[in-house]
Structure 1
Amino acid sequence: MKSAAVVNFSSKQGSVEIREIEKPIIGESDVLLEVANVGVCGSDLHQWTSDHSWHVNYPVVLGHEFGGRIIELGKNVTNWKEGDRVVSETAAQINEASPLNRQGLYNLDPDRKGFGYGVNGAMTKYVKVPARCLHHVPDSLPFEQACLTEPCSVAYNAVVMNSNIRPGDRVVVLGPGTIGILCAAMAQLCGADVALVGLESDKGRLETAKSYGFTTIIGDAKPWATEYDGLGADCVIDAAGISQTLKIALDLVRPKGQITKVGWGPQPLNFSIDALVQKNVTLQGSFSHNWPIWEKVLALLTSEKLDVKPIIGGVWETTDWHEAFEQMHSGKVIKSVLKPV
């Protein structure tokens, strides 16, 4: 049985197309998932425009933000049954013997291969998933929201786990894409006073972000960051997809403050980071997520303490992937969601 899939087939710009692929054959510890919805990530766009900075195993089916129903179980899979509603983590392949894996930090395993770049992802009807990646989705949580558990987990890891944010702190988030908005929402849940910063071209996305209740700023955030005591923001979360924003973060952060960088940027810095030393600033990277983070995020989504509905700009069939990608790439929508056919 063949299904339509959104395939990234080479490193050349624009090398994404619909191809018919065979239904996956699962292993003893895998499940076969019938995909209900899959979110379009900025990394999918970067592979499409060929300005990414990570290795890709071409050709590969895109998509790592997904949920669906189990339709087949490997013979060694226990505690799951056909028909279960689930979402999946992204670490499709890991080194089981890695010291990092043994600490539960498989997201940092150098041998890790993720869906959508290392192995085939979920922008198709069926995807093979290791059972260890699965999390149960309550009936009350629609799949078009549940499939965004992954970017929410990226934000949770960056803000809750890797940043030291306390109630009353002033937090600046650079970049009003999906991750930026979700990071701002997480900082708000931590009790911070939050500003989300973008460019004039981000005006539409910033307008949508206002529904979350944080301050939105186009351009210079220095007046907001220094409003209370003139020293700057307690934490700056860099969720923009360029390297240059680190210079802005260093200007906005207060002495002994923190910068958490979650956005990728392959460009060289080409500026001095002496301010990092002079201000005694902590610079923290944040990548991916692990099992307990997913459980926390699913609880937040189910309780509606975290609401992703405002950022979903539409649902397209996988055969209309190009429109969904363009809508996000142009900034007309914050998050596109696909529905396999």
Structure 2
Amino acid sequence: MKGLLKYGRRDGAVEVREVPAPELLDGHVLIEARAVGVCGSDLHMWHDTHSWPTRVPVVLGHEMAGVVAAVADDVSAWEIGDRVVCETAASICGECTLCRTGRYNLCPGREGYGATRDGAFAELLLAQPRVLHRIPDNVSFEQAALTEPFAVAYNALVERATVAPGDLVVVQGIGAIGALSLQVARLRGAGLVVVLGTPVDALRLEKARALGADRIVDVTAEDPVAVVRSYGDVLGADLVVDATGVSAALRPALDMVRPLGSIVKIGWGPQAVDFSLDPLVAKAVTLYGSFSHTWATWERVLQLFSTGRLDPDAVLGGVYPLEDWRSGFEAMESGRNIKSVISMTS
């Protein structure tokens, strides 16, 4: 079968190749991929700039929607043809405290699709039933492929840090996760949302305005700290969402957040910090890390898709066939798309 393979540890070592099809194992199903979202982590894997453990070679992709193609004899409740999305935790130990208390996303033995296990940019994916969710009838495969990044934003702004009605929220970075965080903040009742970006984000910043941002700021042209402190009681933001993937973004976040406020860091950033964290102490700020999601998060996001409370189409920039994956990747990298989706049936 064809798959988008990262075959070496260097920039650009990604291409469509013939790869072995997975074999159906006991306790598993095979899923035929229909649509797969492109994640910022896929771009990092493409350029070999990622900061998480990976296996090489590995098929990329983890934001998948498809149909069940085969079911092992010992698996019940799933049938061939069921429309499903698949969580990213391809395997977990199932025995540690985190797994036993429902936080399997943080399992030390967790293996993720598209990093340490073959992912979804291929015709078939091997999955355990525990990571499957049914796609509502009124949600398309392309829309459902955005469940995973919306679940990332939901976990960050609902399950980790929280947004209260009327809060001043700052979103640093208007890539996919930043844009989805904007939607979730609005859904939670944020009173004012300020979105920060750079000139490469010009198109995405305009999209942020359409998504409900009250103020967009090009940080190379305006001082974001001054902008944020110009609102309300001038003490700063109730919540800062760091979706940049750049470690240095924590410094202005500490300047923008109000005393007793919160910062939630979603974006990965391998760079070392070279500044004092004293403002974190002086302001009694809560700093949250937010990683991945769990079963309940996915169910909630799919329900919000079905009811129209969250709108995946608002951030979907283009759908590309697998053979034209590079166009989809480049459209996201250049800022033309907030989100690209690869069609596995084109």
Q: TM-score range by the shorter chain?
A: over 0.9
CA RMSD of aligned residues (A): 1.0
Deviation of 1:332 after TM superposition, in Å, equals: 1.3
Report if aligned partners of 2:182, 2:212 keep a CA contact under 8 Å in 1. no
Deviation of 1:145 after TM superposition, in Å, equals: 0.6
Instruction: Tell me which residue corresponds to 1:332.
Output: 336
What do the CA deviations read for 1:233-288 (whole angstroms, capped 9, x no partner)? 01101010110000010010001111110110000001111111111111110000
1:100 equivalenced with 2:98 (yes/no): yes
Unaligned segments of structure 1, at least 5 residues: none
Unaligned segments of structure 2, at least 5 residues: none
Deviation of 1:10 after TM superposition, in Å, equals: 1.6
CA distance in 2, matches of 1:29, 1:89: 16
Report if aligned partners of 1:179, 1:239 keep a CA contact under 8 Å in 2. yes
What do the CA deviations read for 1:24-50 (whole angstroms, capped 9, x no partner)? 102111111110100000000001111
Alignment of 1:275-290 (within 5 A): 275-290=279-294
1:116 equivalenced with 2:114 (yes/no): yes
Instruction: Tell me which residue corresponds to 1:202.
Output: 201
CA distance in 1, matches of 2:196, 2:312: 19
Paired letter, 1:112:
R
Identity between Structure 1 and Structure 2 (%)? 47
CA distance in 2, matches of 1:152, 1:133: 16
Instruction: Tell me which residue corresponds to 1:5.
Output: 3
Report if aligned partners of 2:173, 2:243 keep a CA contact under 8 Å in 1. yes
Instruction: Tell me which residue corresponds to 2:32.
Output: 34
CA distance in 2, matches of 1:251, 1:200: 22
Instruction: Tell me which residue corresponds to 1:217.
Output: 217
Report if aligned partners of 1:4, 1:319 keep a CA contact under 8 Å in 2. no
TM-score of the aligned structures, taking structure 1 as reference length? 0.98
Report if aligned partners of 2:179, 2:338 keep a CA contact under 8 Å in 1. no
Q: Secondary structure at the match of 1:269?
A: coil
Report if aligned partners of 1:39, 1:148 keep a CA contact under 8 Å in 2. yes
TM-score of the aligned structures, taking structure 2 as reference length? 0.96
Alignment of 1:37-186 (within 5 A): 37-186=35-184
Q: Secondary structure at the match of 2:340?
A: strand
CA distance in 2, matches of 1:132, 1:74: 14
CA distance in 2, matches of 1:196, 1:66: 28
CA distance in 2, matches of 1:74, 1:196: 47
Q: Secondary structure at the match of 2:209?
A: helix
Report if aligned partners of 1:6, 1:17 keep a CA contact under 8 Å in 2. yes
Deviation of 1:147 after TM superposition, in Å, equals: 0.7
Kindly tell me the number of residue pairs found equivalent between the two proteins.
Answer: 339
What do the CA deviations read for 1:305-331 (whole angstroms, capped 9, x no partner)? 100112111111111111111111111
Instruction: Tell me which residue corresponds to 1:233.
Output: 237
Moved more, 287-296 or 184-193: 184-193
Deviation of 1:164 after TM superposition, in Å, equals: 2.8
